[in-house]
């Protein structure tokens, strides 16, 4: 029989830890929180120091009973929930539910689930950290006061099922503000002149820079004509050659936020998916004879700090695998993120002897891809900088200046392993210029003026929104995934081509919150509240005082909103057709997967139809039906024949109504690429760039 009981959150974590601790320890899972505020009511006594009323979560009674029984059979109980304030709160609730001595050293924490880390942590158990517990309680109570006061007002005045929260309201504000910027944007014309030049047999590109060595903007075709007319021949003189050596440092190891951003860019993962898979990697994966192994450190962190042990292990691995020249010689000096708590290490592999390639067969496809991303980012972060030779060449013809920029990787350094992604999907590539000397002459091959128009600011992707929330100090590592999930589930925003757009409902809810609860969408106010909640965590502020300072004015705003807010009726948009079952008009509704048509006679008539959009192209397969645009359950656009199921034509790529210039078949489609779109033929190898 075991002498000690260890309680963690999940069965996977329990299985991994029990293997390391041996027969004297029995490890059981609480399956997350066992106690919480009741769902059916506020659960916070605003008249008595905001005392929370906790109850056993429905369905968790049997787990609690089992844990109580197990606790009676052992000498001591250890609480080993995750090493953050949420984990501390879970441990505190367990201690209260199991009637454990809160003054006893019963809390055990570890940042990685490896044999050494787990065994070492049990040598140093500690008391529960009530500052961490109170920080979690403060956030939980504050969010409950906001949600359970504003949401009922929205239910009465707009529609049932709506919600409001501190972080989600700021996220919605950012998306709506950006949409207004896009709608108000007025494009401005500008031109560039791109030149192709040749030196010997080597061609290179240079672009118009200015006149007489001074930069000049080209605003219209008259400006361009003036420049082109001034060029007297194809001979351009090399005025100046500037060569430099530039170092490029590797990105820091992952924080929660940067992991979510990079997984969105490189793997197309939603934040929720990233955190779910990271949790699996942290808690442990069955790796053949090694058994269940925790593969990464704790994934909720705002720190880029790495332990000395991990740095030394990385140095050994890099030196043996890539050579001594790839070792970093200087310690990293990463800028600390505003509000970062530095409580944990960065997200990194916990075992360097478990390389992604070696254990790929034990992982699912998504687990492997995320583990590989974390592994490569960490190894690269400890490698030497890349060294690039850069070259800038200034050319002139009759005082018209062109400039060419080139770069060549002299030493790839960390780039041998990993290069950070970018939000616009562009990658830094080599552009090697031929050797040139000042005073030499090169010839122009083409001088090509191009008209452009300025573009509006881009709508937010998940990665960009997470980055912006972090930069302005809103939310913390654990909040981003549920926040983005909530605003989509509530139908406040939709994703169009992976970018957020507000819905009519989102605009209405935001307008009401902005009018009646301005502090909730005030970025400075919310960021300051985050700082106060962090101060609670560090024992610098009383959590009750923080809540009271917020709630006293907030309560008056609630009373005003209930009295003055007018009821808003969201009219259904007419679909323009009648129901084929009962004859009543069809209307457009918004559902979980976007808009659809429904009969206005609901609930007497429950007829619904998908909204389809014709693109003006005849089906290339049956030659009879029209190709229509549809959306998958994951909101991805695809194309199919409107005669389905009689015709089963379907394509992710948009078909085009013209024959292929090469094979004359009507099978041209538009493929979306990172840089523009490409028209390809599905019958032959014809390709062309789509004109924007």
Give the residue numbers marked as catalytic. Answer: 298
Q: Where are the alpha helices (DSSP H) in 405-564?
A: 462-471, 480-489, 504-516, 523-537, 543-564
Report the Cα 599 to chain-centroid distance in Å.
38
Number of residues in the chain = 692
Place of tokens 């990271």: 278
Closest CA to 81 of 25, 154, 19, 31: 31
Closest CA to 85 of 667, 538, 634, 398: 538
Prior bond to 645 cis, omega within 30? yes
Distance CA 322, CA 242 (A): 32
> Residue-wise over 400-428: b if at least 16 C-beta within 10 A, else e?
bbbbbebbebebbbbbbbbbbbeeeeeee
Give the Cα-Cα-Cα angle 626, 630, 634 (nearest 5 degrees): 160
Whole-angstrom CA distances from 475 to 469, 526, 631 are 7, 9, 32
C-beta of residue 635 within 8 angstroms of C-beta of residue 623: no
> Residue-wise over 622-647: b if at least 16 C-beta within 10 A, else e?
eeebebbebbeeeeeeebbbbbeeeb
Distance CA 218, CA 230 (A): 14
C-beta of residue 612 within 8 angstroms of C-beta of residue 639: no
Closest CA to 475 of 52, 62, 168, 126: 168
């Amino acid at each position: 029989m075991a002498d000690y009981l260890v309680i963690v959150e999940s069965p996977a974590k329990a299985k991994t830890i029990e293997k390391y601790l041996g027969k004297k320890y029995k490890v059981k899972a609480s399956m997350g929180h066992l106690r919480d505020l009741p769902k059916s009511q506020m659960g916070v006594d605003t008249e008595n120091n905001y005392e929370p009323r906790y109850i056993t979560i429905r369905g968790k009674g049997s787990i609690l009973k089992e844990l109580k029984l197990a606790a009676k059979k052992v000498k001591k109980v250890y609480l080993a929930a995750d090493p953050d304030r949420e984990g501390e709160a879970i441990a505190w609730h367990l201690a209260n539910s199991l009637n454990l001595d809160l003054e006893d050293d019963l809390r055990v924490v570890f940042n990685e689930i490896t044999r050494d880390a787990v065994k070492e942590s049990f040598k140093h158990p500690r008391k529960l950290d009530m500052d961490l517990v109170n920080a979690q309680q403060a956030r939980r109570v504050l969010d409950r006061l906001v949600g359970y006061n504003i949401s009922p007002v929205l239910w009465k005045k707009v529609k049932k099922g709506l919600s409001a929260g501190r972080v989600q309201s700021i996220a919605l504000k950012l998306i709506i503000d950006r949409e207004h910027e896009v709608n108000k944007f007025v494009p401005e014309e500008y031109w560039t002149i791109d030149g192709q030049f040749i030196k010997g047999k080597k061609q290179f590109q240079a672009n118009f820079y200015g006149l007489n060595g001074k930069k000049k903007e080209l605003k219209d075709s008259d400006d361009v004509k003036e420049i082109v007319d001034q060029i007297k021949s194809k001979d351009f003189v090399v005025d100046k050659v500037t060569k430099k050596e530039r170092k490029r440092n590797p990105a820091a190891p992952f924080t929660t936020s940067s992991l979510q951003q990079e997984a969105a860019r490189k793997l197309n993962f939603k934040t929720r998916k990233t955190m779910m898979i990271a949790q699996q990697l942290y808690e442990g994966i069955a790796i053949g004879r090694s058994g269940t192994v925790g593969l990464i450190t704790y994934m909720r962190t705002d720190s880029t700090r790495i332990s000395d042990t991990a740095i030394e292990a990385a140095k050994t691995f890099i030196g043996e695998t890539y050579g001594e020249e790839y070792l970093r010689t200087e310690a990293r000096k990463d800028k600390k993120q505003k509000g970062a708590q530095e409580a944990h290490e960065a997200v990194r592999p916990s075992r360097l002897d478990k390389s992604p390639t070696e254990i790929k067969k034990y992982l699912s496809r998504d687990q492997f891809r995320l583990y590989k991303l974390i592994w490569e980012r960490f190894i690269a972060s400890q490698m030497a900088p890349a060294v690039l030779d850069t070259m800038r060449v200034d050319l002139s013809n009759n005082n018209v200046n062109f400039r060419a920029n080139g770069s060549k990787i002299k030493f790839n350094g960390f780039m041998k392993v990993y290069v950070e992604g970018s939000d616009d999907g562009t990658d830094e590539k080599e552009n090697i210029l031929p050797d040139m000397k000042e005073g030499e002459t090169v010839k122009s091959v083409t001088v090509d003026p191009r008209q452009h128009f300025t573009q509006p600011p881009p709508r937010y992707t998940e990665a960009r929104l997470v980055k912006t929330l972090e930069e302005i100090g809103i939310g913390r590592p654990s909040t981003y995934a549920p926040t983005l999930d909530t605003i989509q589930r509530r139908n406040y925003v939709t994703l169009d081509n992976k970018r957020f757009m507000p819905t009519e409902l989102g605009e209405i809810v935001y307008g009401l919150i902005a009018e009646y609860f301005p502090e909730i969408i005030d970025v400075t106010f919310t960021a300051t509240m985050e700082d106060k909640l962090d101060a609670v965590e560090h024992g610098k502020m009383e959590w009750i005082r923080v809540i009271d300072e917020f709630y006293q004015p907030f309560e008056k705003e609630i009373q005003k909103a209930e009295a003055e807010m007018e009821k808003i009726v969201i009219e259904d948009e007419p679909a323009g057709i009648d129901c084929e079952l009962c004859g009543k008009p069809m209307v457009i509704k918004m559902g979980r997967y976007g808009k659809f048509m429904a009969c206005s006679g609901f609930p007497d008539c429950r007829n619904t139809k998908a909204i389809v959009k014709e693109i003006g192209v005849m089906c290339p397969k049956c030659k009879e039906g029209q190709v229509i645009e549809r959306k998958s359950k994951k909101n991805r656009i695809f194309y199919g024949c409107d005669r389905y199921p009689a015709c089963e034509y379907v394509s992710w790529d948009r078909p085009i109504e013209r024959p292929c210039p090469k094979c004359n078949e009507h099978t041209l489609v538009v493929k979306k690429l990172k840089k523009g779109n490409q028209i390809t033929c599905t019958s032959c190898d014809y390709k062309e760039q789509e004109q924007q």
